[in-house]
Amino acid sequence: MPNPATSSLFDSVPPDIFNFYPKGKVDGRKVAEFLQYKNEDVSVSSGVPPQSIRYDKRMPD
């Protein structure tokens, strides 16, 4: 039986209107473009060197 407290908590979460999660996984490129982040910005926030920033299928989860 679902817990009513947690059920109501997720009622306030809006749908993915920006389509950041196609197929259930975050689309890093879409998020970075939306935030107008450059590779240097993503590098600082993720702790990954700028030359290692990638958005292809080999991108780590």
pLDDT digit string, tens, across residues 4-54: 555 677 788 788 889 998 888 888 899 999 999 999 999 998 898 999 998
- Does 57 score more than 80 pLDDT? no
Domain ranges of the chain: 20-61
pLDDT score recorded for residue 1: 55
pLDDT at residue 5 in the model: 57
pLDDT at 49: 93
The residue with tokens 């935030």 is 35
Residue with more model confidence, 5 or 58: 58
Angle at 53 between CA 61 and CA 19, to 5 degrees: 55
Rama region for 38: left / alpha / beta (φ>0; ψ in -120 to 50; rest):
beta
Please give the pLDDT value at position 12: 82
